[in-house]
Amino acid sequence: MAKTFNANKLQTLTKIIIPANISTFFNSLKVNIGLSFVGVITGEFLVSKAGLGHLIVYGSQVFQLDLVMTCVIILAIMAAVIYEAIVLLEKLVVKKMSKKA
């Protein structure tokens, strides 16, 4: 339909494709927050000499469960805060897009 009204590729992208896929974009961000933390911590397990992943490995080697659990709780809090920031950003973007339409 956009081609019928002589819309160019940029107009089609900004007016049709991006607004139609904004919810998919934010849902993907929400899912990938946890996965990105898993990737970072796994990398720290293997090669790091600092960071939460290193502390988890060190705590498990010296049988300090409190250190391990503290690191896991910190990771959970960080993931929850970033998740909620994305939810807030999504609400702002959707609200702005609905006003624009």
Count of domains observed in the chain: 1
Average model confidence (pLDDT) for the chain? 90
User: Is residue 36 assigned to a domain?
Assistant: yes
pLDDT for res 71: 93
The type of residue at 38 is V
User: Is residue 61 assigned to a domain?
Assistant: yes
61 close to 23: Cβ distance less than 8 angstroms: no
The type of residue at 90 is E
Rounded Cα distance between 76 and 14, Å, is 36
Residues 25-59: tens digit of each pLDDT: 999 999 998 899 889 998 988 888 888 899 999 99
Average pLDDT over residues 76-91: 94
pLDDT for res 67: 95
Query: What is the reported pTM?
Result: 0.80
Rounded Cα distance between 62 and 40, Å, is 22
User: Is residue 48 assigned to a domain?
Assistant: yes
69 DSSP assignment: H
User: Is residue 39 assigned to a domain?
Assistant: yes
Q: 67: which residues sit within 8 A by CB, 6+ positions away?
A: 55, 56, 58, 59
**pLDDT at position 101 over 70:** no
User: Is residue 1 assigned to a domain?
Assistant: no
